Amino acid sequence: MSPTVLLTGASGYVGSRLLPNLQAADLEVRAMARRPESLTLPRQANGAVTEVVAGDVVENRGLDAALEGIDVAYYMIHSMGRGSGPTSEFAARDRIAASNFATAAKRAGVQRVIYLGGLGPTDGMASEHLKSRHEVADILADEGPAFSHVRAAMVIGNGSASFEMLRALVKRLPAMICPKWVDTRSQPIAISDVISTLSALATRPQLPADVQIGGADILTYRAMMKRVAAILGRRPPLIVPVPVLTPRLSSYWVTLVTPVEHGLVQPLVKGLATEMIVESPPPAGLNDNPLGFEAAVRAALAGG
């Protein structure tokens, strides 16, 4: 029998794209939201309407009802960088939320929990943003049911905060002074490959604990900007890396020239100093043939 799925974060960037894939796989999907009345979801191909239930992971409200009868739960909740306040406050909220959800999922008899986090180091070298993502994964794994941590670097897609930041820098700045992170290597991945991997884990017989996924290319951020410029038909920006410009300072001018809110820009920029590369390839059948960077960018520019 097909598993029954709970999707949290259904209105978010990844969640809103994951939902149609789960529906296309003929899975029974339930979406959870703090304010169900504000969540409008597309109808399924057969005309059915996805069930939406109320639940708040931080306040531990409505989780038992939302998880009742669920086999697979997608945890797509992350508050880092949104709104105002120091990083420590968001990290604390995420710890509480993850613990509440993991405990409720285990109590409800959920068979597996799937979470999307980030590539990069899990030790003291990680940025505050990545430390929080890894910490959430540890809590879900330790306190909940069987768990799969899907880890990705920059997601290339229309509406992805990281990609919109990259595109705006290329389009609006003929020259830029950057910190040394401009030559940090990363393995950006197309949103379609992220969604395919997440979807496959719902019904995969053996659930891998750690799934590292990346695109076909490993590039520095400098190389990414040059390639995006070529695709857009623009001259590549003149990039001058300087050691005295900190990620914190650079996040302010990035905010000025991109449409991404500063609360998201700051943790993203701070994380750029760390290499995000797949160190252990995923099991066969997961992200076997990822798109290359140029193909992912063209798909994003076309609305994908």
pLDDT at 231: 94
Residues of the chain with pLDDT under 50: 82-84
Give me the chain's average pLDDT, please.
85
Sign (positive or negative) of CA dihedral 126, 131, 133, 139: positive
Per-residue pLDDT tens over the stretch 60-94 = 999 999 999 999 999 998 865 544 455 567 788 89
Asked if residue 146 lies in contact with residue 73, where contact means CB atoms within 8 angstroms, the answer is no
Q: What is the pLDDT of residue 152?
A: 95
pLDDT the model gives residue 87:
57
Q: Model-level pTM?
A: 0.89
pLDDT score recorded for residue 264: 61
pLDDT at 133: 86
pLDDT, tens digit (0-9, with 9 covering 90-100), for 31-43: 998 887 777 776 6
CA distances in angstroms from 282 to 104, 169, 203, 213, 274, listed in the order given: 29, 32, 16, 7, 21
What SS3 class is residue 258? Answer: coil
Question: In angstroms, what CA-CA distances link 303 with 192, 296, 299?
Answer: 12, 11, 7
Give the number of other Cβ atoms within 10 Å of residue 3's Cβ.
17
User: What's residue 182's pLDDT?
Assistant: 80
Strands annotated E in the chain: 4-8, 28-33, 51-54, 72-75, 112-118, 146-152, 155-156, 175-178, 185-186, 189-190, 210-212, 219-220, 238-241
Q: Cα–Cα distance between 128 and 281 in angstroms, integer?
A: 25
Report the DSSP beta bridge partners of residue 112: 72, 146
**Which domains does the chain show, CATH number per domain?**
4-152 (3.40.50.720), 154-189+214-277+284-304 (3.90.25.10)
pLDDT at 84: 41
